[in-house]
Amino acid sequence: MTLSLEQATADYITRQAAAAGGNVSAWVERHFREQAVRESVASYVDWDAAHPGYAEAAAEEAEAAAREAGLA
């Protein structure tokens, strides 16, 4: 992959990678992987807020199934 960056952006990434003790590729990969996780969590939080009671209902169903199967 090749990226075209403004020099200020390239310098920033290079400094961040050096401060983290790694190379630029590793820093960029980690940075965007962490960003993807943050976005995923935010999406789940939004979904959970739009579906109140879902987690509790799912837990109750799981407990009922475990009791029915003789596991609880």
User: What integer pLDDT is reported at residue 65 of this predicted model?
Assistant: 97
**Does residue 15 surpass a pLDDT of 90?**
yes
Q: What are 35-65's pLDDT values in tens digits? A: 999 999 999 999 999 999 999 999 999 999 9
How far, in Å, CA of 72 to CA of 62, rounded? 10
CA angle 47, 50, 52 (to 5 degrees): 105
- The per-residue pLDDT of the chain, averaged, comes to 96
Query: Model-level pTM greater than 0.85?
Result: no
Pick 22 or 42 by higher pLDDT.
42
Per-residue pLDDT at 72 = 82
Per domain, the residue ranges of the chain are 29-72
